[in-house]
Amino acid sequence: MSDSTGHGHVVLLSGGVGGAKLALGFDRLLPRGALTVIANTGDDFRHLGLDISPDLDTLMYTLAGIVNPETGWGCRDESWQFMAALEQLGGETWFRLGDRDLATHIERTRRRAAGETLTAITADFCARLGIGSRLLPMSDATVATRVDTDAGLLDFQDYFVRRRAAPVVRALHHDGAAGAAPSPAVLAALADPRLAAIVIAPSNPWLSIAPLLAIPGLRAAIAAAKAPVVAVSPIVGGAAIKGPTAKIMAELGLEVHNAVLARHYRGLVDGLILDTVDAGETAAVESLGVRAATTATVMHTLADKTGLAAFTLRFAATLA
């Protein structure tokens, strides 16, 4: 379970901003190369003719230390001249693309059109940005999250960005997931004998983690892995740390309670980490056969992030 440095390897399943915080914690805690992040690409879409991968990019910018610290996504020291000029030309401006960020989309689109996989392009970008961890899209196939709402069946970014997650969610679909295969790199990471833990980041379970688990081969590889599987809950004090998790749970008729999350992940996770304020929900979680542990899960500082990563590893060791 440990390599020569005394640390095991970790696979983190992650969405965007929330998960990226824990990804950075592991990246800084572990020796270079010991972390593999498998990113949700269900949010990916084609916009203005460009292939955009919001969660991959948020993770990449975060791990490279160039993320916008105020938003948690996009680039630090970003400028918006492109958007201003596009608006003048009558182009669509509801999805904001910064001038620096555009380089990622344009170069990725060009390389994909030339036949490279998203996995290969992402690996090359990460190497050029000096990232030590491995960042993998969940699949090289297209999986598109679609949101069935009271405003109709919406593409993910239409729901999430253009309509600011306002429509009432009835159901989520992951178009293409059933036929999508995890990449060889994803399967190899999950089968790595050095793996100390598979961690599900405190990302939105329904919007960001569900697309990963909707890929049959990925779910099966997690289930088959020998390493313990630990989820960090995004539900803190009966609300979501960030984003519309609580709103969506309510719309899906679910109580905003960690026992509901434990039931959602049951059969897949061995343990669930709750925030200290939710210590009272521990018993309900454990009654479902999911081990629970509590710590401070709200991450502001880098120390918060590495601290939560270290706690997660220690908890995983007790489940092994």
The residues binding a copy of itself (CB under 8 A) are: 48-50, 75, 78-79, 81-86, 88-91, 98-104, 106-107, 109-110, 113, 124-125, 128-129
Nearer to a copy of itself, 4 or 113 (CB): 113
Shortest separation between residue 156's beta carbon and a copy of itself, angstroms: 20
Nearer to a copy of itself, 83 or 250 (CB): 83
Nearer to a copy of itself, 74 or 271 (CB): 74
Phi first, then psi: what are they for 202, rounded to 5°? -75, 50
Nearer to a copy of itself, 136 or 285 (CB): 136
Nearer to a copy of itself, 62 or 149 (CB): 62
Could you tell me which residues come within 8 angstroms of residue 222 by beta carbon, excluding any fewer than 6 positions away? 13, 190, 198, 213, 229, 268
202: nearest Cα among 239, 169, 228, 175? 239
3-class DSSP assignment, residue 12: strand
Between helix 99-113 and helix 54-64 the angle, nearest 10°, is 120
Residue 122's alpha-carbon distances to 131, 158, 288, in angstroms, are 11, 25, 38
Shortest separation between residue 130's beta carbon and a copy of itself, angstroms: 10
50, containing H or E segment: strand 50-52
Residue 84: left (phi > 0), alpha (psi -120 to 50), or beta? alpha
Shortest separation between residue 283's beta carbon and a copy of itself, angstroms: 50
Could you tell me which residues come within 8 angstroms of residue 40 by beta carbon, excluding any fewer than 6 positions away? 13, 14, 15, 16, 55, 138, 203, 208, 209, 211, 212
Give the Cα separation of 43 and 27 in Å (integer). 23
Alpha helices, H only, 92-215 = 99-113, 118-128, 156-157, 184-190, 210-213
228 close to 316: Cβ distance less than 8 angstroms? yes
Shortest separation between residue 305's beta carbon and a copy of itself, angstroms: 24
Shortest separation between residue 90's beta carbon and a copy of itself, angstroms: 5
Shortest separation between residue 76's beta carbon and a copy of itself, angstroms: 11
Nearer to a copy of itself, 1 or 48 (CB): 48
201 close to 243: Cβ distance less than 8 angstroms? no
Shortest separation between residue 140's beta carbon and a copy of itself, angstroms: 19
Nearer to a copy of itself, 48 or 288 (CB): 48
273 close to 228: Cβ distance less than 8 angstroms? no
Nearer to a copy of itself, 86 or 288 (CB): 86
Shortest separation between residue 103's beta carbon and a copy of itself, angstroms: 4
262, containing H or E segment: helix 258-265
Nearer to a copy of itself, 9 or 108 (CB): 108
Shortest separation between residue 81's beta carbon and a copy of itself, angstroms: 4
For the chain, what is the radius of gyration of the CA atoms? 19
